[in-house]
Structure 1
Amino acid sequence: MTALEQTYEKVDAYEPDRSLKGKVRRRLIRLQHRRPARVKLERPMVSFSFDDAPATACEAGARVLESRGFRGTYYFAASLTGRDGPMGRYATGEDAARLHAAGHEIGCHTFSHLDCGQATTDVALADVAQNTQALASWGVGEAVSFAYPYGDVAAPAKTALAGRFKTLRALHHGLVANGADLNQAPAVGIEGEDGEAVALHWLDQAHRRKAWLILYTHDVAETPSAWGCTVEALERLVDGAVNAGFDVVTVAEGSRRIGL
């Protein structure tokens, strides 16, 4: 079995590198190979994105946004489609096509949910290419937004992927404001017991600075996993953002508005 095949087999149980060495490496990479954003907005923006595209996110999550006239960004890892995982069943290519037809954005993960921080550059690039091909076969348009699984990437892979997508999103907290690195863009998770409170804090920061906030979660359910959120929490965050004067946009639309 190849290293890539082993990754496919253990994707649900896989844990990113949480060692001190891994933490230091991630800090250093954020200082390298940067592509600084130029952001000047009259109104703050927020994007709601869903990593790995669990079926509940594509159903309940989409309903929350669509009922309010908005759309989200779904980062698909094509090898997961139709499988059962710790966040429930993952959506299929047919689900992706339905979301695309409804105006949602289909973004790109790696095919096997590969950790770009630990894989070799060649393996990471091949996995990304395989995923873009799979998404294209679903008829969902060319992906312009990418998210690193686990939020991690090694310096050579970050350099090689730069320019292939308008944004390459990580998981460290922050805003897309002047100087933010579009090759490792910050995002804030709506996940865990304090996920809604954390998201509200960053919405307040984005409002104050007239910046772009990218929020992400996974499943959207009455009893979500540790990586997801409830339907009610998502509703409150969307409604709160609208009431505060935010423009709710897909990641692709946010990229367009800052000139990418």
Structure 2
Amino acid sequence: MTQTAYNSDEMVYRPRGGLAGRVQKQLTRRLGVTPLKINLDRPIVTFTFDDFPRSALELGAVRLKTRGWRATYFVSGGLAGVTNHHGELFDPQDLLNLKAEGHEIACHGFSHLDASRLHVEAVAADAARNRAYLKAAGLDDAPTSYAFAYGEATPQAKKRLLETYSSLRGVQPGINRGVADRGLLKSVPLDGGDDGLKRAVAAIKDAARNPGWLIFYGHDIQYQPSEWGCTPEFLDVVLHAVEHSGAQVMTQSDALAAIEARA
């Protein structure tokens, strides 16, 4: 199997685990940090969707729109038109439709690669290929936000990609507050069934008590979701909790701009 083979249930790529994987993650979190000072008196919530399945548009974007909110959609151009464990993924017209609705179209790397296993220039080249794909799809504005596929990165990749993007998101659980790493922003998953829903709601309450930047990341939204997805009811509960928390909801790029303006 290659890292680009991400299009069937039988070929789901899983990053390395064990001691080597834990050490790699700790090094990436501790080294190559680019500080982002966050000083908020009101929490900011950002909804992001990775890869992204069409259900994240059809059942996600619609729910956000009714509240006047917008999300950030991280696109891997190599996955366009694919059907995998998340269901049917986006097509180029979906990108244009989302952009027209005010959502942010962002970069997830063209081939959905594990950056922790690659030379830094290979990661940068894959990101450049994705930017070219987005431009060819009709999106003239270059993306300013990036999310590491699988949340896997290296200190070198963080620094290199920040030459092109304003912020990079990972999957380390938590709320960004105080001094965060602009090159590996923390996030909270929209998955995990009932336990995952409890964690998501708890994060919203945490952000309301001690204002910070809470980034959610999700994948498919289905009545029988994948391991990395959630049901429409799950999302409804999260949206309701955010609505009643007093948080501002912004895309990743807009949230970053608001945080930088306060700093």
Range into which the TM-score falls when normalised by the shorter chain: over 0.9
Aligned position for 2:235: 234
- C-alpha contact (below 8 Å) 2:46/2:214 kept by paired residues: yes
For residue 176 of structure 1, report the CA deviation from its aligned partner: 1.5
Query: C-alpha separation between the residues in 1 aligned to 2:18 and 2:134?
Result: 33
RMSD after superposition? 1.5
For residue 109 of structure 1, report the CA deviation from its aligned partner: 0.3
The two structures have a TM-score, normalised by structure 1, of 0.94
- Report the secondary structure of 2:177's partner residue: coil
- Report the secondary structure of 1:253's partner residue: helix
- C-alpha contact (below 8 Å) 2:6/2:84 kept by paired residues: no
Equivalent runs, 1:40-59 vs 2, <5 Å: 40-59=39-58
Query: C-alpha separation between the residues in 2 aligned to 1:67 and 1:228?
Result: 21
For residue 151 of structure 1, report the CA deviation from its aligned partner: 0.3
Is 1:257 paired with 2:258?
A: yes
- Report the secondary structure of 1:233's partner residue: helix
Aligned position for 1:72: 71
Q: What per-residue deviation string (whole Å, max 9, x for no partner) do you get for residues 87-128 of structure 1?
A: 101111110110000001111101000111111222111111
Aligned position for 1:15: 14
For residue 138 of structure 1, report the CA deviation from its aligned partner: 2.1
Query: C-alpha separation between the residues in 1 aligned to 2:113 and 2:64?
Result: 29
Gaps of 5+ in 2: none
Query: C-alpha separation between the residues in 2 aligned to 1:91 and 1:26?
Result: 30
Equivalent runs, 1:67-216 vs 2, <5 Å: 67-140=66-139, 141-193=141-193, 194-216=195-217
Query: C-alpha separation between the residues in 2 aligned to 1:10 and 1:61?
Result: 22
Query: C-alpha separation between the residues in 1 aligned to 2:185 and 2:50?
Result: 15
For residue 10 of structure 1, report the CA deviation from its aligned partner: 4.8
Q: Which moved more, 1:132-141 or 1:72-81?
A: 132-141
Query: C-alpha separation between the residues in 2 aligned to 1:208 and 1:43?
Result: 9
Q: What per-residue deviation string (whole Å, max 9, x for no partner) do you get for residues 120-174 of structure 1?
A: 2221111111011111222332211100001011222222112321110000011
- Report the secondary structure of 1:7's partner residue: coil
Query: C-alpha separation between the residues in 2 aligned to 1:160 and 1:108?
Result: 15
The two structures have a TM-score, normalised by structure 2, of 0.93
For residue 54 of structure 1, report the CA deviation from its aligned partner: 0.4
- Report the secondary structure of 1:179's partner residue: strand
Between the two proteins, the alignment pairs up a number of residues equal to 256
